[in-house]
Amino acid sequence: MSPSAPRTAVAATLPARARLPINRCNLPPVILGSLTFQAHPQAIEIDGVRTFHADLFARLDAIDDARDRARQFQDYMVVKFRLDEPQDAGGEKGRGRAKADYLRLLRGWFFDSDAREGAVLKSWAESRFGLITRHHKGIIHDPDDPLLELFQRDRARGLHNTNALESQLDLVHAYCQWELARRFPEKTHVTLYRGVNRLNAFEVLDKQDATHQVMLFNNVNSFTSDRDVAGAFGDHIFTVQIPVSKILFFSGLLPGRMQGESEYIVLGGVYAVETATF
C-alpha cells in the first residue's frame, strides 16, 4: 500500500538545504528525496556498480537458496577487496583501521549511528544519492554549525586507512536491491516503524492533522519491521511506508549476521508519517 498523494508542492519537494545539485545514481536528488517518490518509487542504481561487478550478479542469478547467495556475496567481498589481507591494498595488517570493512561499519551503525561509522555511511549517501546529512549528534542547521565540523572529522577518521570502504558500500547497496527484487519481485513498499522520545528533534514540513505529518528525515535512517521493538526505543512511534528501492540494508540480508531488532537502514528525504503514542 503506497502513501497518499502529497497535499502541497512545498511539502512534496525535497528542500534545497537537504540536497546536492548532482549525485552518482540514476535519479537526481530532488526526485528520489521527494514525497512523490515515496508514493511512486522507481529503481535506484549507483552508476556503474552492477556493470563493474557483472560476474557476481551472474553467479547469484544461478543460485536458488538465499543463504547460499549470501555466502557467495560475502566470499566475493573478501576476494575483491582483499579483506583478509589488507596489506595487499596498502594497509598494515593488524594495525589501525586497515581491518575496517563493510561488516564492521554496519555493526558500528547499529550500535551508534552518530559514531564515526555512522558518519561514513551518511557521507557515502551524500556522494552517491545527493542527500545531505541533516543530523549527526544533533540537527545540522547550516554550513557554520559546529556539528558539521564534527561530522566531517568523524567521517575522516572513519575512512582513514581503509580499503575502498565506500566502494564496498556501493556493492552492499547493489546486492541488497538485487536480493529484494529476487525475494519480493512485486513489492513496492514495506511498512516500517521507528520509536522516538522527542518529536521536536525532527523536521516537520507539513502537519496534516494530529497524527499525520510530512517530515524531512536524515539522509540515512534506522527503522524496524517490528512495532513492539520500535516501542522500546521511545514513547512515540512513526509508521512509514518505505519504498523498497530506498532500503540500503536489512537484518535478513546476510543470515547469521546483524539479525537483532529486525532493523532496516533506509535512505531519507521527505516522507508522509503517521505518529502514535505507544
- Give the pLDDT score at 98: 54
Task: Report whether pLDDT(212) > 70.
Answer: yes
Task: Report whether pLDDT(255) > 60.
Answer: yes
Rg (CA), the chain: 18
Task: Report whether pLDDT(122) > 50.
Answer: yes
The amino acid occupying position 59 is R
Q: Is residue 276 part of a domain?
A: no
DSSP state of 50: H
Question: Which range marks the domain in which residue 85 is found?
Answer: 49-183
Distance (Å, rounded) from C-alpha 163 to C-alpha 79? 12
Task: Report whether pLDDT(84) > 90.
Answer: no
Please choose, from the candidates 28, 35, 22, the residue with its C-alpha nearest in 3D space to the C-alpha of residue 272.
35
Q: Which residue has the higher pLDDT, 196 or 201?
A: 196
Q: Is residue 231 part of a domain?
A: no
pLDDT tens, residue by residue, 146-165: 999 999 999 999 998 888 99
- Give the pLDDT score at 256: 80
Top mean pLDDT of 43-57, 75-89, 200-214 is at 43-57
194's grid cell? 521507528
Q: Is residue 227 part of a domain?
A: no
Q: Is residue 92 part of a domain?
A: yes
Q: Is residue 19 part of a domain?
A: no
Average pLDDT of span 23-42 = 97
Q: Is residue 176 part of a domain?
A: yes
Mean pLDDT computed over every residue of the chain = 91
End-to-end CA distance of the chain: 23
Q: Is residue 214 part of a domain?
A: no
- Give the pLDDT score at 6: 45
Question: If DSSP states are collapsed to H, E and C, what string results for 8-43?
Answer: CHHHHCCCHHHECCCCCECCCHHHHCCHHHHHCCCC
Distance (Å, rounded) from C-alpha 54 to C-alpha 139? 39
Which secondary-structure segment (H or E) carries 11?
A: helix 9-12
How many domains are contained in the chain?
1
Query: Residue for cell digits 547469521?
Result: 256
Q: Is residue 118 part of a domain?
A: yes
